[in-house]
Amino acid sequence: MKNILIGLLAAFILLAPEHARCDEPTPQEISKWKTLAQQGNDAAQFNLGLVYATGKVVSQDYAKAIKWYKLSAGQGNTAAQLNLGNMYAAGQGVDQNYAETLKWYTLAAKEGNAIAQHNVGLLYATGKGVEQNHVEAMKWYKLAAEQGDVGAQLGIGNMYASGKGVKQNYAEAIKWYELAAAQGNAIAQYNLGLLHASGQGVKQDKKAAKKWYKKACDNGLQKACEAYGKLHKAGH
């Protein structure tokens, strides 16, 4: 199963950019951000972009969100670059444009943003906004996965399982699926169930398959619940 593009960041940047918060800003704070944003403060510009994009306190306005994100992104703010990529991917306030999506994600990815690295990998893997290139996708997935990005870990597992961009290697797929599964990713857990049930990359073990199906089912993946039920009914 393919990953999905990561959504908007649900955090505001404080005036010290290395910190973030998730509570709703006050009208007084927004007024202060507007003053600072007009003075060129990239964190304040990002915050205004986020409040307009999410409709927190102010009326949702994608055009204003784009305006402030672009000003912040132009100063190298990776969170703004990531969110601009998201908005072009979703067609929020702009026409959907995966080439623009790739442009903004790549800027953030080159600065080490793991979510952006994952999303760049996903665009190359799916051929959206760029010619499909599984080798390039793997390069970006690995950069993100090394930072613990669960979607990238799943993506690498999928590529080893399918032999896209790398030589097919089920044992290596299991390694990456286990990393993602340990973070609670239901698809990775389900895929581990499939590999244990079929004996691909590991000795066939229906009990282990049942365990992974159960974990994925508990995390809300319906087809894992069905697979678990079939094994349970068969007496495994």
pLDDT tens digits in sequence order for the chain, 236 residues long: 345 455 545 455 444 333 344 678 899 999 999 999 999 999 999 999 999 999 988 999 999 999 999 999 999 999 999 999 999 999 999 999 999 999 999 999 999 999 999 999 999 999 999 999 999 999 999 999 999 999 999 999 999 999 999 999 999 999 999 999 999 999 999 999 999 999 999 999 999 999 999 999 999 999 999 999 999 888 76
The set of residues, in sequence order, having a beta carbon less than 8 Å from that of 71 and lying 6+ positions away, is: 37, 42, 45
The pLDDT assigned to 22 comes to: 60
- The pTM score is 0.87
Cα–Cα nearest to 191, from 160, 230, 145: 160
Q: Measured on CA atoms in the order 107, 46, 123, 121, is the torsion positive or negative?
A: positive
Packing angle, helices 170-182 and 150-162, rounded to 10:
160
